[in-house]
Structures are given as C-alpha cells and as structure tokens.
Structure 1
Amino acid sequence: MPPTASRRPDEQPAFEWAAPGLHLGFDHADDRPVRLVRLATGPDAPSAAAPWAIVDVYTPGEHRARNNQTLLHSGAGQRLRYAGRESLDGELRITQHDHETGLEVTSVFRAAGPGLQIRHTVRNGSERELVLLSVSSAVVAVPDTGGQELLWGESEWLAEGRWHQRPLHDLLPDTHPELHGGQYSRGLFSLTSHGSWSSGTFLPTGVLANADGPSLAWQVETSAGWHWETALTGGTVTVGVHGATDMHHQFAARLAPGEAFTSVPAGVCIADGGRDAAFAALTGYRRAIREVRPVDARLPVVYNDFMNTLMGWPTTERLLPLIESAGEAGAEYFCIDAGWFAALEGNWWTNAGEWLEAPERFTGGLLSVIDAIRANGMRPGLWLEPEAVGVESPMAKRLPDEAFFQRFGERVSEAGHFQLDLRHPAARAHLDETVDRLVDEFGIGFFKLDYNTNTGLGTDVDAAGPGAGLLGHTLAYTDWLRDAQERHPGLLFENCGSGAMRMDYNLLSVVHLQSTSDQQEFRSYAPIAAAAPASVLPEQAGNWAYPAASMSLEETAFAMTAGVVGRIYLSGFLNELSAEQSALVREAVMLHKDWRHRIAEAVPTWPLGLPRWEDEVVALQLDAGPQSLLAVWSRGGAAEIALPELEGRTVAQVYPAALPQWTIRTGDGAPVLEVPAGPAARIFAIQ
C-alpha cells in the first residue's frame, strides 16, 4: 500500500474559509504558491485534501517545472505568490502574483450546495503581450490510501453513459518512486474531449471513490475542449481539471497589458462515503448551479413526434392523430421535430437554416397544426438546430463569412452544414430574429435545440487558436440562451446533440431538459436511462418513452419505465396502440406526474452498481428521503437480486398495475427480488 501523506507543522492552514457543508484551509509561504491543505464537509470532518498548489498556468516560453506527462507543476504556477484574499457573497477570492512574468491570478471558490465551483482569472499585469496555453480549472490532491477506486464514463451516439469503476492502482501502478530519488511517477490516467461534442467520446465527470474516507467528484463545465487527469504524486493522488489546452485542443489566449482570461468552471464535491455518496453530492451541486425559472419548475410532460415515429417528416395528416393521442395520454407540450421547415422535395438537411415553415407540408399552414395542439390542451414546440446552416440554405449566402467557423480562411463544412459563430453579431441577430418570430407568430413555448455535427477543434477567426475560438462561441451561445429566456420567460429549451453528444453543465445550467440518447432500440435504452443521473439531474434527464403497437404489454411497460424515472419524453404512434397499451402509457404518465417534483429532490443510487452495456438486470433508485422509486429492467434470463441496502424498508410495486406482481421475499433480513426473464420492467415505491 502506498504511504499516506502526513502533514508537517508548516502545512497547517494559514487561513480558512467555510460555507454550509464545506470547510477549506489554505497555506502559503515566501517560497511556494498558495496550496489547498484542507477540504472537508465540516470543521470536525476528515479532510479529503493533501497539500497542493491551487492553480497551474502554461505559457509558450515555460511549460513544466519538473518532468512528467501531466499538466501539473507548471513553471508559472509554481512561481505564484500570495497577494491577498477576500470573502463575499459565498465566494472566496485568492489573489497571487508572478513577479517574473507579471501574471496576476485570482482564484474564486464559490459555495454551491454541497460542492465548490472553482475558476481562475489570469490578468496580464505586465507591459507586454502575454500568451496563455492553458489555465487549470481545479487542482486537488488527496492522500493515496491504496484503496480508492476511479470512476469515469465513456459515451458515443446511441450508447451514452457507459461507466467504468476500477481500483486506482490498476490504472496507476506503484512504481516505487522512493527508490528513484523521491521523484513522482510520470504516468497518468486522463480523459480528453474531441472537437465540439463535449461528451461525444467521454463524459466530463469523474469520481475518486473511497469507502474508508472522503470521496472526491468533479465535472468540467464547458461545451468546448476539456481534459481531466489523475496522477500519483508521492503519497498523494492529484486530480487536475482543465478546459481547453494547447496540448489537447490547440488553445491559446493572447493577453494585451491589462487584459484577462477566465478558466472554464469546474465543479468539485467531497462526500463522506463511497460512490453513491459522491454522486449524491454532485446531484446537489448541479441543482445549486442551475438557473431555474418558474416555467422550469413546472416540469411539464413533453411529447415529441420524432423518435420511432415521424423521424423528421411531419405533415398535417400525420400530426393530427398524434396530437390527439398525446393529449389523451397526458402530455402538456407537443414538439414538432425536424422537417417542419423543409420542402417535401429536396434535401432538408443541406437547406436548413432559414427556419421558415414549409407551407406544402401543412394543410392550412403550420398555424393550423399549432391550433390543434392548443385545442388538445398542450403548448406547442418546434425543433431547431440553431448553430447550423445548410450549405444550400439562403442564409449561407446572406450571412458574412465572419459569422461562420473558419480554418485558414475557409468555412468549416461538416456533413453539409456550416457552423455559426455566435460571437459575431450577424449570427446572433439571425437567431434572435428566428426565436422572436416563431414565438410571436406561433406562440411557441418549447424549442428542442439540436446539434448534430462535430465541427472539430473550432475556429481561428479572432482567436489565437481554434480551441479558443470554440470556447468563445460556446460562451456566446449560453449567453444567447440566457438572453432569449429573459425576453421570453415562458419559453423552455431542450438541449440535444444527436442525443447526448453535448451534455455538459455549461449548457445544462441554463436549459430545461437534456435528451439522453437517440437510441431507438427500447431494450438498449435501459442502461442509458439508468446511468443518466450520474451525468445529468434526474429531473433534466429526457428519457424517451416510445411504445409501439408491435410491442407486447410487457415490452410496452419496459419502454415506459425509462421515462418515469427521469423526465418522461413521450413519442411513438400512440394512436395505434391497443386499449391495454394505452392504459399502460396513461398510468406511466400519471405516476411520473405524481413523482416528478419528488424526483426533482431525489438523489440517484445504483443497488446493482452503475449499469454495464450488456447487463441483463439493470436498476436505478431515486432516493427522495422517506420515499424512493426503484426501477428494475430485466433483459435476460430469470434472476434473483438481493437489496441489502433496503433492509427494514417496505418495497411495493407501483407500476404497472395491470401486469403480474414480481415476487419480493426476505432473505437474511433484506428484500430479495425475483426477476423474471425479460424483456420486462417494474417500478417499486420504497417506504
């Protein structure tokens, strides 16, 4: 077992800062930068932190101060010295200065629920231009106990949220640095985003779980490039959380004298417990950083005509029966998905971007369909891909080249789409006009905002590197979203990126709903829905529920279960279902409505562990204190699962009422659930 870092007398905090559920300590000296030396849930709770400098800064002329493969030990970061601090409105601000380069760094620690939101602003205090190649968002070291486990998530289109949990020392072997002059190991375990899909390959979240002490969880809050890494650092494990970097994303920021750059935020949580305690802390933190409006708090049920239904080809004749059946099922919003703007002939993908209705699609015009939605007791919604302009769209000629992503003087084209750059006023004005017109003309109350292409590293227009251009655009995009909601406070926005390819809390802090996948195979949706609350709040997890007439009653209940335990996102030809199937759909919607505000206060736990892609039995529990919901999906043969954590609690099936009850017996004092062969699913209430 690696040695545990001990604290020397000179590592006692020089100053401390506290907020509800948080207690931090820092030290500094004339020969070293400010270090975080204590991170705990309270003044008497065990600390998760080992002493480590709070920020790393890379410049072109100076990278690392010691040999390694991480972004730790930056030369400029090691030269920073304490210059002052202030505490105001739940934030601690620590200022440091590098007298050699003139860099001034202000580190902000903001209390947010049970966690911290950390960011750093680097100001050029010199009289010459300075260039930054990366600025860390958070750096935290913890004692290496030898028993920690690292959790990380992989993602891809149709297979989102595939989590892994491994002993840390399986990933970072003990290389016996004590035999090599006390040098640190030079290996690392890291994840890095690729291009403009922030969660297209990996999830921007990680957990260092510790069953025998505090656990650490983190997330990177950006829709641009990001990177996080873990490394063994001499009796400690150091976690570095970063936005875009030169090394990984061709990022650079030029600072004229007096100019500043602020790192993307990082969320950091500690929890006195293991995996589920860490995710519970992340859940509370995510709720604390969300900008929730009254219309968000209603948590309405949305029907969308796309998934396994119209698939981008709406017409009046196809929509009217869906509108009627969605209203009867209990939907409160009806979203017309892609294709409403497209002529019946031609390639709507390459023509998209002007966002005018296609009159030949709708008898009596789109407004007549909108009126039918309202007549059936629902509010209307539309699909948009706001950042995309088809290469054959009139907008591609109407907008200037500078309003689009470019590389080396040429517009970036990806699969027939140009990418708008929301930093440019013409691009923003186009989207403002689009949203304002559709709200004013049709009374739209919901927009599904899609993002279907990975446009690469970014744009080099007005940027020192394409990674910086992408970052600037994504910040402008969230600013546009906030501004649109201020103008239209009753408007809801869904975040979608070919499902969940851009699922991050830069966007999720300001939007209402997140599409969790484009997966059309209902059996495969179970592990996606069950794992989603590790990445997104359960009340934002838009899980498709798409029953079909071809399904058995058991399969229908299986398909509906994913929606009940997140945000139910209805689809499917509801008008074609049998009476028994329709009853199962209405029952699921009613159960979700009964629980949705409790779900918005619940924390996720996984009685069988985070699901693996091929698991035959998948389970998710949403713990709302005195009451919880437990969803169990069976995708294989019959099995028995023990639920020792539910010892002493009552477990009762609450969905579906019309199908057989699964047997629950007691074994060794704890409930044992007899799971039949699948596909089948049940939802239980736990008292």
Structure 2
Amino acid sequence: MIITFGHALELDLYCAEGEPPRLAALRAGGSPLAAESTDPATLDILPLSHIELAGHSREHINGKRHIGGAVSSRLQYVRHDITRAGQALLLEITSRDPITDLTVVARIEQHPDIAAIRSSTRVTAGSHEVVLLHVASLVIPGVLAIADTALGAAGRWEDRLTAWTAANPWCGEGRWTSATLSQRGLTATEKPDARNRFALASTGSWSSSEHLPMGALTDEHTGRALAWQIEHNGSWAWEIGDTHDAVYVSLSGPSDAESQWSKVLAPGESFTTVPATLAASAHGLEGAIGELTKHRRVTRRPHADLERLPIIFNDYMNCLGGDPSTDRLLPLIDAAARAGAEYFVVDAGWYDDTDGWWDSVGEWQPSTVRFPGGLDKVMELVRERGMTPGLWLEPEVVGVRSPMAGSLPDGAFFQRAGRRLTERGRHQLDFRHPASRAHLDATVDRLVSEYGIGYFKLDYNIEVGPGTDHAADSAGDGLLGHNRAYRAWIDGVLDRHPGLVIESCSSGGMRTDYAMLAATQLHSVTDQTDFHRLPAIAAAAPMAVTPEQSAMWAYPVPAMTDRETAFNLAGALLGRIHLSGRLDLLRPEQEALVHQALAAYRELRPHLPAALPHWPVGLPAWRDGWVALALETDGPDRDSPVAGYVLAWRRDADDLAWHQEVRSLTVRLPEWSAVLVRLTRV
C-alpha cells in the first residue's frame, strides 16, 4: 500500500503488513527528490524509523552509521492516521516490533504551501523493559538519487551531490562551506555497502558552538536541494551515507555513541525524539532555505514583536561592557531616546556590588552601589524618555559566590556522580527541579512587577558538557530533560507575561537553534566587537535565523570615521538593529548618521517579517572583500513585480579582503524584474 502525504512537499510511503514502513518517493513541486519506484516491495529501502536498543545488534556491517538496526528491520506496520492541528497536516504511522513488543510512531507534520516536513519519533515499551541507545527523528533514503545519464561520470552521486555545513565559532558565526560527497570521503561501491558516513554532531549545552544544527545537500547539475535543521537546544547529530548505491540522510537528537545518552523505558513508558525539519526545492540551496524560512515562521510562537520589530539599545557591546551604573546610564538613556530607540536594555553587572559580577550571578537583586538612588529611578527615566526598559539575565547559572549557591538544594544543580558541576566559577541549574523553576519564576515576576521590565535578554555563557546523571538514566538523558524543561519555562514566562519580549543569547550565537528561536522573539547572532568582521556574519545569518529575529550589532564609537560609522550602521539594517556604542559621546556628524540609519530602518522593517533571503554573490567567506545579502519582499500589491533590498559591503582591512584588486561588483537578481546593480568601491 502506498500512502501519499503532503502537497508542496509530497511523500509516498510504502506500508505493508508484516514490513517496516518505508519512504518510497519524495517530490517538491512535482520534481523528484528521492528515487521513485513503482514497486517499492522489490527495493531494499531503509525503514522510515531507526532505533537501536541495548542487546539488539545491527544486521549489517555498518561501522559507526546509524542504519541497519535489527529492531528497525523487524518493525511491522500497524496503521496510519492523518489529522489536522490548526493549519498543519499530520501523519502518524504506527508500527510494532514483535520481539520486544515496542511500539513506534513516526509523526510527520506539514504546513500549507511550504515544501518542508517536521518529523519526530515516539517509542513506547510494551511488555518488556528496553534501553534506548539511538532513535532517529527522520531518515530519508535515496535522496537526490536520480542520475542524469547525459552527464556521464558526473552523473555519479558522489561527484554530483554537494554537502553544505556551517562552522559556528564564537565571534565568527555562520561560516558555510561546501564540498562534494566524494570530497567528504564517500564513494559508491558494489554491494555490500561502504561503511563510511559523513557526520556532524554536537555534545553539550551549547547546541551550535562548533557547527550549526543544520546541513544541506544539493545537486549542482539539476538544482535539486534539501536543507535541514535539528530543533534542539542541546546535543544532536546528523549523518549522510550511502546504501545500495543511493544516499540517505539521518537526523537525530542525542544518542549513546555521540553524546552519552541512553534511556531506560519500563513497560508502558514512552520517549519522543527532538523534532527535525527537512525542506526541499528544485531551485537550489536558496530555494530550500526559503522553504525552511517559511517553516520557521509558521512553527514559532506568535508574538507582536515579530511584526513591530522595535529598535533596541543595549548598553554592553563597545559601550559599558558589563559595568553599568546610574551615572553611566543617564546620558546613554537620553542619547538612545534622541536616536529613536524603543527599548533600552541594561546588560550584565546590574546586580553586582563587588566588581566581580561573573561568579556572583544568581540572586538577581539590583546593586545599591551601582544604583544609589535605586534601579527603579533608572527604569523610570527610561519610561519617561518613551522607551521600554529591559534587563539582562542568565537564568541557567548560579555563581559560586552567589547566596543562591547555598540556599538551593543540590538536586537543583547539574551533578556527576553526586558532585555538583562547576564551570568557570558557576554552577548549572537543572530546570527539571521545581526549586530552580520557582526561583526564576519569582525573579521574573518580581522584576516585571517592581521595575516595569518589558524585555529580558536571556544569556548563557557556560558549556557543561554531556549533562547530569542526577535523577537520570545517563548524562545525556539529564541534559535532554533540562533542555526541554528550560524551553517549557520560557513558554510559561510568556504565558504569564504575553507582552514581554525575550531575546535568546548564548555568548552570542552559541545556541542558534529553533528550539530556542521557536519560543523567543529574537536572537543575538554574535558577540563580535570588530565592525570590519560583522558583514560575513550578518550576511550568513538568514541561513539560520529569520531576518526579523536576527539581532545584529550597530555600535558606533567616537573613534570611528563617518564612513566607518555608516558602514557599521548599515550592516544591521536587514535584521534586528541592536544599537549600542557610546551614543552619548558621538560627534554631531555621527549622531546624524545614527538618526538617518534608524529612519531608514523604520521604513523597511515592515517588509522583513515576510522577506526571503538571497545571496547574489554567494554565501560569504570569512575574509571576502565583497559581501552581499538580498531580501526578497512582496511588491505593494498582488500584481506588482517582486521587490527587495540589497545590502553590499566592501571591506578594505588588509587581513580581511583577499581580493583588494577587485574594485567593482555586479549583482544580478534575475527574479526581480532583471535588476542589475553595479557597485563600485569609492
């Protein structure tokens, strides 16, 4: 039996009695993206679900690859159900393992007119206890496997298919690179299959400190493309491999092999994987990212901020740097108000009386030394100047010198073998514990009530490794439980305070994922302090974050020339302006440039919530001299041609620009009524 599901992205699923469910075909806009078969029963297609249990081996020699599990191949189709949840179409396919009595439900979600699916897997123990070691969120076999015989040798998948990954180092986020699968180490072989894979994984509490939890696979000859994201704020893994001369993609959250995760299920207990989303297009990588961008918008929490896009001033970057006080803030408040900022955020250090705010965090009482007249007087001035006050919090940590380190029970903190974990003078709170949640709930409610706080920047500056084994089956199990509890805590805060705006930050972009960004309104993309280096980060950001959630620094300081000031300000216009810098000390000419930039932003920001990104000169390399980002927007009416904005940077710093001799750049945007823009360095 073939089940056809979806519209913009169409799936054919082969479901037969006594056999595991399998994906037989995948199409976007009628274009095939996976090998199709009129008789799937004759094909050795990977099962839709992959599960590894302790005591149950894999059937083939698969090396480190997460395929070929004995449990997966034993699954027997039971039923399927198609329902709706709001606008979303849901498919649930239930199967059962007759040996372990395990029930598996593969859940696939699709929204109208978006060529993307979000998938997760729920496993429920039957009459026997089982120990989970790996459960895939989504397995897609035979992807982009249609060879073009006219291409000859180039038609081989290992030379034709290109894998995309994004290194995401601190202050150098979003460094996308590509290589063919052959260059990644994969080569077609005769049966039995090769034992190789190309894989990425992240272990720990920073989901994106090494790589973004994303990837893509493109066919440069046909234009077919897949892009994916794992929607989790902790450990994750994905892999590309070959099986029977075709390519598969497997996406998952934490696992035993990659992230010290295992889970014991007693009879009747269930576990659900983290969600993963796959987007597809017949129009290359940009097309797939466009579909992923649409998916992000319809699956995140609705909020008025995502339409208004207010201008935020934050006193940290190239400004006070975590050393706020009443005397330092008063002139900044006046300058930010004159510039047109709508939120004013006091960043780190506001609670510290000792000049050692790093390891004293956790109690969240305002300093009387920094604010001798009281923090309320400062926040009152912010409101008088027509802005909404905001504060920085780092809710998941407690400094070793904080009173909360002694007053909260040990069970409220991450532990290993009964010992509380300490990282850089801080303990990690475990949000599974009610005392942790109660403390932070009381903190947020008090700050909103007493000081009229309308904005919280939620930061996270430590990496605690695989997790906590306290009250958990494994360290990874403890971390996953905390990750989910923290996300639920944010939802609870916004349920109680629906007008509150929450920014997700993790030393800049160390937690760039759509577990966090589906709940929070905007995201701090980077902590980069050098404005010369920001363009490569800003231009790549829409690969991972919708423009209306992508907070980019604009931090003019008196030492900048007028041209440098304009360069820095312009770089934030196609996202969320995070204004900072010493606005109170700027020259009149610089202040005028700030006002001009913010006036331009107020004109274009209504178009950002529906804009789709393009890269007219390609994704930026870290030291490119020319960098460009374009956002496609709708015209003023239905019959208008596609319109948009183009932002191009020319960087002249000697250590950045590799192509100093290139003085001009031609940007072609054929979809925008054949627009040709020629940019010349002056």
Normalised to the residue count of structure 2, the TM-score between the two structures is: 0.91
Matched-pair contact (CA < 8 Å) for 2:307–2:609: no
Q: Aligned residue for 1:629? A: 645
Cα distance in 1 between the residues matched to 2:179 and 2:378: 52
Post-superposition shift, 1:672?
3.1
The alignment-based identity, stated in percent, is 42
Q: Any residues of structure 2 matched to 1:384-403 within 5 Å, and which?
A: 384-403=393-412
Question: Residues 319-359 of structure 1, C-alpha deviation per residue, up to 9 Å, x if partnerless?
Answer: 0111111111111000000010000x342211110000001
Post-superposition shift, 1:629?
1.0
User: Aligned pair in 2 of structure 1 residues 17, 556: CA closer, same or farther (>3 Å)?
Assistant: same
Cα distance in 2 between the residues matched to 1:64 and 1:630: 51
Q: Aligned residue for 2:545? A: 536
Q: Any residues of structure 2 matched to 1:420-569 within 5 Å, and which?
A: 420-569=429-578
Q: Aligned residue for 2:259? A: 249
Q: 2:622 aligns with which of 579, 589, 613?
A: 613
Amino acid at match of 2:317: M
Matched-pair contact (CA < 8 Å) for 1:224–1:467: no
Aligned residues: 638
Matched-pair contact (CA < 8 Å) for 2:487–2:516: yes
Matched-pair contact (CA < 8 Å) for 1:185–1:234: no
* SS in structure 2 of the partner of residue 327 of structure 1: helix
Q: Aligned residue for 1:41? A: 28
Q: Aligned residue for 2:656? A: none
User: Aligned pair in 2 of structure 1 residues 427, 648: CA closer, same or farther (>3 Å)?
Assistant: closer
Q: 1:29 aligns with which of 2, 6, 16?
A: 16
Matched-pair contact (CA < 8 Å) for 2:33–2:144: no
Q: Aligned residue for 1:167? A: 180
Post-superposition shift, 1:491?
0.4
Amino acid at match of 1:97: R
1:272 aligns with 2:271: no
Q: Aligned residue for 1:125? A: 126
* SS in structure 1 of the partner of residue 15 of structure 2: strand
Matched-pair contact (CA < 8 Å) for 1:618–1:634: yes
* SS in structure 2 of the partner of residue 530 of structure 1: helix
Cα distance in 1 between the residues matched to 2:381 and 2:34: 57
* SS in structure 1 of the partner of residue 295 of structure 2: helix
Question: Residues 138-182 of structure 1, C-alpha deviation per residue, up to 9 Å, x if partnerless?
Answer: 11121434322111100111111111011222213425x22xxx1
Post-superposition shift, 1:15?
1.5
* SS in structure 1 of the partner of residue 106 of structure 2: strand
1:56 aligns with 2:50: yes
Post-superposition shift, 1:295?
4.1
Q: Aligned residue for 1:140? A: 140
Matched-pair contact (CA < 8 Å) for 1:543–1:563: yes
Matched-pair contact (CA < 8 Å) for 1:210–1:275: no
* SS in structure 2 of the partner of residue 362 of structure 1: coil
* SS in structure 2 of the partner of residue 15 of structure 1: strand
Cα distance in 2 between the residues matched to 1:644 and 1:263: 42
Matched-pair contact (CA < 8 Å) for 1:193–1:199: yes
1:298 aligns with 2:308: yes
Cα distance in 1 between the residues matched to 2:392 and 2:186: 49
User: Aligned pair in 2 of structure 1 residues 63, 550: CA closer, same or farther (>3 Å)?
Assistant: farther
Q: Aligned residue for 1:316? A: 326
Matched-pair contact (CA < 8 Å) for 1:48–1:216: no
Post-superposition shift, 1:525?
0.9
Post-superposition shift, 1:186?
1.2
Amino acid at match of 2:344: F
Cα distance in 2 between the residues matched to 1:185 and 1:360: 66
Amino acid at match of 2:451: F
Question: Residues 30-60 of structure 1, C-alpha deviation per residue, up to 9 Å, x if partnerless?
Answer: 5631111122234x44344564321100111
Amino acid at match of 1:273: H
Larger deviation, residues 642-651 vs 204-213: 642-651
Q: Aligned residue for 1:66? A: 60
Amino acid at match of 1:633: W
Q: Any residues of structure 2 matched to 1:172-321 within 5 Å, and which?
A: 172-175=185-188, 177-178=189-190, 182-211=191-220, 212-321=222-331
Cα distance in 2 between the residues matched to 1:430 and 1:296: 29
Post-superposition shift, 1:522?
0.5
Post-superposition shift, 1:646?
4.0
Post-superposition shift, 1:458?
0.5
* SS in structure 2 of the partner of residue 170 of structure 1: coil
Amino acid at match of 2:632: D
Cα distance in 2 between the residues matched to 1:648 and 1:265: 35
Post-superposition shift, 1:213?
4.6
Cα distance in 1 between the residues matched to 2:674 and 2:90: 43
Cα distance in 1 between the residues matched to 2:511 and 2:304: 25
Cα distance in 2 between the residues matched to 1:281 and 1:63: 38
Q: What runs of 5+ residues in structure 1 fail to find an aligned partner?
A: 1-12, 652-669, 677-687
Post-superposition shift, 1:447?
0.2
Amino acid at match of 1:425: P
Q: 1:641 aligns with which of 662, 665, 668?
A: 665
Matched-pair contact (CA < 8 Å) for 1:405–1:458: yes
Matched-pair contact (CA < 8 Å) for 1:327–1:378: yes
Amino acid at match of 1:673: L
Q: Aligned residue for 1:666? A: none
Post-superposition shift, 1:578?
1.6
* SS in structure 1 of the partner of residue 503 of structure 2: strand
Post-superposition shift, 1:281?
1.1
